[in-house]
Amino acid sequence: MSNISDLGIAGIRDGLTGGDFTAREVAETFIGRVSAAKPLNAFLVETPDHALAAADVADKAIAAGETLGKMVGVPIGMKDLFCTEGVETTAASGILEGFTPQYESTVSANLFKAGAGMLGKLNMDQFAMGSSNETSAFGNVISPWRRNDGGNTDLAPGGSSGGSAAVVSGRIAPAATGTDTGGSIRQPAAFVGITGFKPTYGRCSRWGTIAFASSLDQAGPMAQDVRDCAIMLEAMAGFDPKDSTSLELPVPDWEAALNSNLAGKKIGIPKEYRVDNMPAEIDALWEQGIAWLKDAGATIVDVSLPHTKYALPAYYIIAPAEASSNLARYDGVRYGSRDLPDGAGLQDMYAATREAGFGAEVKRRIMIGTYVLSAGYYDAYYTQAQKVRTLISQDFEKAWNSCDLLLTPTAPSAAFGLGEKADDPLAMYLNDVFTVPSSLAGLPAMSVPTGLDGQGLPLGLQIIGKALDEQNVFNAGLALEERAGFVAKPEQWW
């Protein structure tokens, strides 16, 4: 038997039901991993008691021969964007410091109902705005990965779900929740060599998840492999009457229908995703991915998504516009931090609170969003961006006439060093160039780790599917996974 800490969701499930170990042993193992991982700064709050309590419940259920939940006995990491009852939740922002929700987000509640325990709340980019984890108010997460140059440059785990990526790749948690607005699950998954899945918009309830950009935000699993992602998404997803944009559809049994035989499937290769200055290694990996999918029985077709180049600018109008309004509630009146200078009036309190509480990237996006919605600019920016969004969705619709799935790289580069892009927001925004279009269209997409670059850092490929067709995304991901045989993991230096 392998080490418990190397196991993922399915491995833990099989070990528990096979009597190889108890849920308590699993929880204790990972709690130990968590406390040893402080140098990574991945956790904002540790909740060992929660994990242990869930484990004890799991052990009892197993002993009693009860029907077990999909996540029984699996201790997970929880991105700090999910409100957790009685556990401080800040979205890694100073403005929510000290905020302890009296309610449980639907996604975390679903996971707990399925038997999962929680190891702690995971660090992230502040309000999920960032691609490197450097916008956290509580210090950046450091990736468990190091370049193979013998140096010890700290690398970015990607973002915004950087804490989630770090703990899964560092075998500190068997799985973690993520959220994806423009690539926040897929890009960090690619950076650290794990699997990350963003479902169709509306599959997972947004209730109790701190909003960044409501029309784009989707929760999803980050785990070691495709099967684990399928199991975990089944537990997370489902209709929620408390979220008007939640899909009123049953949750399929994706795990049971996993099938890597792609005979009869057509995979589209969008030519617009061949961008300038993309590392040759990523190009080569993409070609390799095409070969693997052919090997799995799929037919490869070239497709065009002509409006792709407008996706990033449209995204950086729509997402900040929604964020500027969503973040208006953080005003120092009812919860979180408040800055009340002597003799201050209401407006002064707002200004002081928000000046002190929000980080620079959050302020930048609030200002962009406020600008694009303001009188005289609304049509030129916001309305125009919405039109682009429609065109991008139509691009995908047309592509589905000739293919079932798309294969692209997940990110235009491997992980970069912390601080390398921090001063150049535009360079940072380019990280999302391959993930943003499917977010704008609300489509399911996943990143699968498929190789290492010359520096020994992971690279991922992305599968994009039709709305609600998570199954075929999982299946194609599995076909890649089986052929890539990606087993690399970071060496423990922390």
Instruction: Report the distance separating Cα 156 and Cα 418, nearest Å.
Output: 5
| 161 is a site residue for other proteins (CB under 8 A) | no
Binding segment toward other proteins, per CB under 8 A, in 6-14, 26-34, 61-69, 366-374 = 366-374
| 380 is a site residue for other proteins (CB under 8 A) | no
Strand 75-79 versus strand 117-122 pairing type = parallel
| 182 is a site residue for other proteins (CB under 8 A) | no
CB of 214 to other proteins, least distance (A): 4
Residues 123-144: b if buried by 16+ CB within 10 A, e if exposed: bbbbbbbbbbbbbbbbebbbbb
Residues that are catalytic: 79, 160, 184
Binding segment toward other proteins, per CB under 8 A, in 100-108, 392-400, 403-411, 441-449 = 100-108
Binding segment toward other proteins, per CB under 8 A, in 140-148, 157-165, 238-246, 475-483 = 238-246
Instruction: Report the distance separating Cα 382 and Cα 374, nearest Å.
Output: 9
| 177 is a site residue for other proteins (CB under 8 A) | no
CB of 258 to other proteins, least distance (A): 32
By C-beta, is 326 or 475 nearer to other proteins? 326
Secondary structure of 275-288 as H, E, C letters: CCCCCHHHHHHHHH
| 138 is a site residue for other proteins (CB under 8 A) | no
By C-beta, is 127 or 310 nearer to other proteins? 127
CB of 391 to other proteins, least distance (A): 18
Per the DSSP assignment, residues forming a β-bridge with 128 are: none
Per the DSSP assignment, residues forming a β-bridge with 463 are: 407, 446
| 329 is a site residue for other proteins (CB under 8 A) | yes
| 375 is a site residue for other proteins (CB under 8 A) | yes
Residues 388-421: b if buried by 16+ CB within 10 A, e if exposed: bbebbbebbeebbeebbbbbbbbbbbbbbebebb
Which residue, 176, 207, 167, is CA-closest to 71? 176
User: Letter for the amino acid at 320?
Assistant: P
Report yes or no: 130 and 184 within 8 Å, Cβ to Cβ: no
Binding segment toward other proteins, per CB under 8 A, in 170-178, 213-221, 248-256, 412-420 = 213-221
| 304 is a site residue for other proteins (CB under 8 A) | no
| 179 is a site residue for other proteins (CB under 8 A) | no
| 321 is a site residue for other proteins (CB under 8 A) | yes
Task: Rule CB under 8 A: choose which of 140, 324, 408, 475 binds other proteins.
Answer: 324
| 301 is a site residue for other proteins (CB under 8 A) | no
Kindly write out the interface string for residues 386-415 of this chain, putting x where it contacts other proteins by CB under 8 A and - elsewhere.
------------------------------
| 333 is a site residue for other proteins (CB under 8 A) | yes
Kindly write out the interface string for residues 23-62 of this chain, putting x where it contacts other proteins by CB under 8 A and - elsewhere.
----------------------------------------
CB of 333 to other proteins, least distance (A): 6
| 209 is a site residue for other proteins (CB under 8 A) | yes
Relative orientation angle of helices 470-484 and 226-236, to the nearest 10 degrees: 150
Number of residues that bind other proteins (CB under 8 A): 44
Can you tell me whether residue 31 is helix, strand or coil? helix
Kindly write out the interface string for residues 58-87 of this chain, putting x where it contacts other proteins by CB under 8 A and - elsewhere.
------------------------xx----
By C-beta, is 121 or 171 nearer to other proteins? 121
Binding segment toward other proteins, per CB under 8 A, in 47-55, 68-76, 320-328, 356-364 = 320-328
- Spatial strand order of the sheet with 445-452 comes to 43-46, 117-122, 75-79, 175-180, 218-223, 195-198, 445-452, 458-465, 405-409, 266-270, 299-303
- Write the CB contacts of 463 (distance below 8 Å, at least 6 apart in sequence): 405, 406, 407, 445, 446, 448, 473, 476, 477, 480
Secondary structure of 255-314 as H, E, C letters: CCCCCCCCCCCEEEEEHHHCCCCCCHHHHHHHHHHHHHHHHCCCEEEEECCCCHHHHHHH
Other Cβ atoms within 10 Å of 385 Cβ, number = 22
How far is C-alpha 111 from the geometric centre of its chain's CA atoms?
Answer: 16
Q: Tokens 């922002």, residue?
A: 93
| 89 is a site residue for other proteins (CB under 8 A) | yes
Which residue, 189, 221, 199, 212, is CA-closest to 78? 221
- Chain residues that interact with other proteins, rule: CB under 8 A: 82-83, 89, 91, 96, 99, 101-103, 105, 206-211, 213-215, 241-245, 321-322, 324-325, 327-329, 331, 333-335, 346-347, 350, 370, 373-375, 378, 382
